[in-house]
Amino acid sequence: MEQTYSITVRETGEVFSCGGGQAVLPAMIHAGRGPIKHGCCGGGCGVCRMRIVEGEWEAFKNMSRAHVSEEDEKKGIVLLCCVQPRSNITVARIF
């Protein structure tokens, strides 16, 4: 059975569930939580660019380098539609 993880939105304290085989963004949209209500979900538009400040994650799709540089990625900046959780994670907006 697929593991389910908790995703916390740092600014609001909102929490929602995301399966280990599911991308974080669609889970966020489905739960009606977090600051992002829509986006391409394909790694192209950059709307879902946020920072993962805590927890383990894995990119299952290539993130567009136009939106996330290698340097960004090292800091936990990701496109939420391209990553899946590998533990409970906390995400934060980028200002």
Q: Where on the chain is the footprint of ligand FES (CB under 6 A)?
A: 25, 39-41, 43-48, 79, 81
Other beta carbons less than 10 A from residue 10's beta carbon: 14
Question: Phi/psi of residue 24, each to 5°?
Answer: -65, -40
What value does the CA radius of gyration of the chain take, rounded to a whole number of Å?
12
Least distance between ligand FES and beta carbon 42 (Å): 6
Least distance between ligand FES and beta carbon 53 (Å): 18
Please, which residue, 62 or 87, has the CB nearer to ligand FES?
A: 62
- Cβ-closest position to ligand FES: 39
Please, which residue, 40 or 53, has the CB nearer to ligand FES?
A: 40
Least distance between ligand FES and beta carbon 1 (Å): 27
Please, which residue, 34 or 43, has the CB nearer to ligand FES?
A: 43
Determine contact, residues 31/80, Cβ cutoff 8 Å: no
Which has the closest alpha carbon to 83: 21, 39, 36?
21
Amino acid at 78: V
